[in-house]
Structure 1
Amino acid sequence: MARQNKFYLRLATFVAVIVILLAAGPFYIVNEGEQAVVTRFGQIVKSCTSTGLYFKVPFLDVVTVYPAKILSLEGDQARIPTKENQFIIVDTTSRWKISDPALFYQSFKTLDAAYNKLSDVIDSSTRTIITRNRLSEIVRSSNLINEEKDSADSNQLAGIEGEDSAEIEALVNVNSNNESVSKGRSALCQEMADDARKMVGEYGIELIDIVPRQIKYSDELTESVYNRMIKERNQVAQAYRSLGEGKKSEWLGKLENEKRTIESEAYRKSEETKGKADAEAAAIYTQSYTRDPKFYEFWKSLESYKNTMGNFDVTYSTKMDYFKYLYSSDGKRQ
């Protein structure tokens, strides 16, 4: 009987131990998109990067699960000077993942700590690369703007010909191109990522890329850019005004020349007409004179009296031959 009681006691003890072990969870599951690190007394026992069911020592092993997916880090806005010492506001976003969970656990243990460290590294790399390059390299990826500008300038000058087009080009400086880009924003983003990878590789992190989500001018630079744009537009407007004033003067000069030409031609024709009329009148006078010379002389004398007598107030002599037709009672020459 005592032996039977001991047997049941041992069996109950064994069952209790099994139940306690099962309750403590000797198994753990690594799901899709996860990876795990198993530690015992703070020391890493193993890491699991594949999905499946795994065993651990109850009460001794601790499982820390990390995401195996690609993670994103939204950086804070930073005020950074360019190579020309022009300040811009840069806001970056990055993609990364945990490549070595054991090394990641040794370095950070928690994701929050990793985010803080990675943010500092990315900010440092972004600042380093931007300060080494010109503003045009940061905001542009190609020289397409120069090609589009040449096309726009051609369209703008399409209605202007020859010397006028050359004049406009000289006034508005349409042949000036923006700075050529040798690297571009894409290459600089790659340089930022390469520089940051040198520092995060030892933390079990794989940095995929760094992309500027937003690049904008600082307040003082924005005002300077707007003022430059206004100045350029005013320069273009003044160029067209100057061209218009020049055209106006040119056409007024042509108009005046044509006016003088027309007046000169009209005067010439009027003089020719007058000359022909005088010639015809002289011919008529000559024909009349040959018919009756005395009447012709009398008629010419009356015309002369009509034109000159009004200029005399008093006549002091009646013996003048000029008045020979005035003092005859029958109107004949005395």
Structure 2
Amino acid sequence: MKKPFLIVIIFALILIAKGGLFVIGEGEQALVTQFGKPVGGVSLAGLHFKIPLIQDVHRFERRIMKWDGDPNQIPTKDKKYIWVDTTARWRISDPLLYFKTVATEAGGQSRLDDIIDSVVRDAVSGHLLVEMVRGWDYKAPEGAREEIEVEGETIAPSSLAGREEILNGILEKARASTPEYGIDLIDVQIKRINYVEQVRQRVYERMISERKKVAAEYRSEGEGEKADILGQMQKELKTIESEAYRQSVEIRGQADAEAASIYADAYGKDPELYAFLRTLEAYRKAVGENARLVLSTDSEFYRFLSEAR
């Protein structure tokens, strides 16, 4: 009788150990309930005990979790429809309150859907398209106009909000509604903003028009620079040509003068030789190919020929 009794006791202890011991991981926290009512929370990782069959353990993430909303088509303040895709980071700050209000992680995600989607929709519809697509504290470039034109209306950049400012406002408003569910909302960001087809086409046309305007300004400036460079080049070229022509005339004049001086010195030593050479030169120029020359015997042109006999 003792051995079967011992087996029963051992079996009962195994069941108690199996049903009463539970392990909490590093990234988890737990809530213990008894007959559906919370009786305690566990935030430390490790091995813990509960009453078998009476108490239950509900596990929750202690780590930061990701929320991704569905992309929504929302009109901006200036009636431009855009697709807005939002994401957020959150964690469970109060497991007991979280269990009482939303119970599960899926319930928490659903509650965040309602809160964040509503706040994002209000923020987008309350701001202009230019504010949503530009994340900046605007400072106009030097020389640029200190104004932005939106739908024919001129607006001072200082009166516009940047996307970071809008996101901070979204986070502040959404965070105000999450503590009552035991949720701590850490961050809200817009992953992507896309235009609907009609707006996208108008944006493309505006971008093309602006780029063409900028290109025309660059071309105009380039043509002006080109004219200045060509004018300077022509001026320098004429100066160089004029100087070169002046130097060539001086050099040619000096050479002619020097040649004339040499000729004069040479021919002055023997005038007859000079006359003879000049006559030969005249013969070569006067008598061409297949030509006949008729001279009188008393002609000066004939004198050297008659003396050569």
Same fold per superposition (TM over 0.5): yes
1:241 Cα deviation from its structure 2 partner: 7.9
The alignment status of 1:42 with 2:45, answered yes or no, reads no
| Residues 168-222 of structure 1 deviation map (CA, whole Å, 9 limit, x = unaligned) | xxxxxx6464351543111211111111122221111100010001112221111
Tell me the equivalent position of 1:217. 195
Tell me the equivalent position of 2:179. 201
Which letter maps to 2:64?
I
Within the candidate set 15, 18, 26, 1:20 is matched to 15
- Alignment of structure 1 residues 302-321 onto 2, 5 Å: none
Within the candidate set 221, 226, 229, 2:207 is matched to 229
Tell me the equivalent position of 1:300. none
- Alignment of structure 1 residues 1-334 onto 2, 5 Å: 14-22=9-17, 24-144=18-138, 146-147=140-141, 150=142, 175=145, 177-178=147-148, 180=157, 182-236=160-214
- Structure showing greater radius of gyration is 1
2:70–2:85 contact (8 Å) kept in structure 1: yes
Seen in structure 2, the aligned counterparts of structure 1 residues 10 and 235 have a Cα distance that, compared at 3 Å, is closer
Q: Secondary structure of the equivalent of 1:199? A: coil
- Is there any run of 5+ residues in structure 2 with no aligned partner, and where? 149-155, 228-309
Instruction: Please identify, of 115-124 and 135-144, the stretch whose mean Cα deviation from structure 2 is larger.
Output: 135-144
Q: How far apart are the structure 2 equivalents of 1:118 and 1:132?
A: 21
2:138–2:157 contact (8 Å) kept in structure 1: no
Which letter maps to 1:62?
D
The aligned length equals 218
Q: How far apart are the structure 1 equivalents of 2:198 and 2:167?
A: 25
2:140–2:146 contact (8 Å) kept in structure 1: no
1:143 Cα deviation from its structure 2 partner: 3.9
Q: How far apart are the structure 2 equivalents of 1:16 and 1:213?
A: 56
Seen in structure 2, the aligned counterparts of structure 1 residues 236 and 59 have a Cα distance that, compared at 3 Å, is closer
Q: Secondary structure of the equivalent of 1:84? A: coil
Tell me the equivalent position of 1:252. none
What is the RMSD computed on CA atoms of the aligned residues?
Answer: 3.0
Q: How far apart are the structure 1 equivalents of 2:84 and 2:62?
A: 29
Which letter maps to 1:228?
R
- With normalisation by structure 1, the TM-score equals 0.58
2:136–2:164 contact (8 Å) kept in structure 1: no
Question: How many percent identity over aligned positions?
Answer: 34
Q: How far apart are the structure 2 equivalents of 1:219 and 1:206?
A: 37
Which letter maps to 1:232?
E
| Residues 31-65 of structure 1 deviation map (CA, whole Å, 9 limit, x = unaligned) | 21110011111111111122232210001111111
Seen in structure 2, the aligned counterparts of structure 1 residues 233 and 21 have a Cα distance that, compared at 3 Å, is closer
Q: How far apart are the structure 1 equivalents of 2:165 and 2:216?
A: 40
Q: How far apart are the structure 1 equivalents of 2:171 and 2:210?
A: 38
Tell me the equivalent position of 2:278. none
Seen in structure 2, the aligned counterparts of structure 1 residues 9 and 191 have a Cα distance that, compared at 3 Å, is same
